[in-house]
């Protein structure tokens, strides 16, 4: 019988990292993505803890740092599917216990989540702000967007497309947020475009860029977080 270091993360001198063979019909990029997923601790943790995506941990970290959610709060999750962020929001505002309200919005349908009301809807529709405020039962305390346009592989194009989504989400939030509310949206390194950032700083008490630990180190992903919405002028 042999003994070894149980805490080393290795067995017989071999790494325990999972490697995926390239299948005949699978591209190299698909193989690398699958290998990354299989070896991602946040993917494994999300499965173990019942979250629908690893993105849940990004929002958890931001809430722990900046205290975004309060029991009884009203939250909108734009581009909600598959629902990882909605799950966190529902837990933190206690909507599963009937205290707060979480409304998820997406063009794609989504499996039901306890404590989350879902709408298959384009949030850019003219009637969307009024509809969602009706679903919330009032103005929102927070608007979240983890949306990302499909990547083209061209860095500048991808940056512009994701910033455009964030800008649309902000314009929507301006119509539904209550004074004091927060807005968080995905952008890419390079940050938020100057005009959008200037508008956010005008409308919110504080604006910062955040990269949660759960964002992959090799990803250009960032989040813009704006807190303390000043409210619309009368």
Catalytic residues: 186
Token match 């990803």: residue?
219
Bridge partners of 209, per DSSP, are 224
| Cβ(26)–Cβ(19) below 8 Å | no
HSE at residue 117, side-chain half, CA atoms within 13 A, is 16
Q: What is the 3-state secondary structure (H, E, C) of 92-145?
A: HHCHHHCCCEEEEEECCCCCCCCCEEEEECCCCCCCHHHHHHHHHCCCEEEEEE
Displacement of CA 69 from its chain's centroid (Å): 14
Three-state DSSP at 184 gives strand
The count of other CB atoms within 10 Å of the CB of residue 197 is 17
């Amino acid at each position: 019988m042999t003994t070894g270091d149980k805490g080393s993360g290795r067995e017989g001198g071999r790494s325990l990292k999972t490697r995926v063979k390239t299948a005949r019909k699978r591209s190299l990029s698909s193989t690398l993505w699958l290998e990354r997923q299989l070896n991602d601790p946040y993917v494994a943790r999300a499965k173990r803890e019942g979250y629908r995506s690893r993105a849940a941990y990004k929002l958890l970290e931001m809430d722990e740092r900046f205290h975004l959610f309060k029991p009884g709060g009203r939250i909108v999750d734009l581009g909600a599917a598959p629902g990882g962020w909605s799950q966190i929001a529902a837990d933190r505002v206690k909507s599963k216990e009937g205290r707060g309200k979480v409304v998820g919005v997406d063009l794609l349908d989504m499996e039901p989540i306890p404590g989350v009301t879902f709408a298959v809807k384009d949030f850019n529709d003219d009637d969307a702000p009024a509809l969602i405020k009706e679903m919330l039962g009032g103005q929102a305390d927070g608007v979240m967007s983890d949306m990302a346009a499909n990547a083209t592989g061209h860095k500048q194009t991808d940056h512009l497309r994701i910033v455009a989504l964030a800008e649309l989400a902000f314009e929507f939030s301006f119509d539904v947020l209550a004074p004091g509310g927060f807005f968080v949206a995905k952008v890419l390194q390079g940050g938020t475009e100057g005009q959008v950032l200037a508008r956010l700083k005008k409308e919110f008490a504080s604006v910062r860029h955040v990269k949660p630990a759960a964002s992959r180190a090799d990803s250009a992903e960032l989040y813009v977080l704006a807190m303390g919405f000043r409210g619309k002028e009368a």
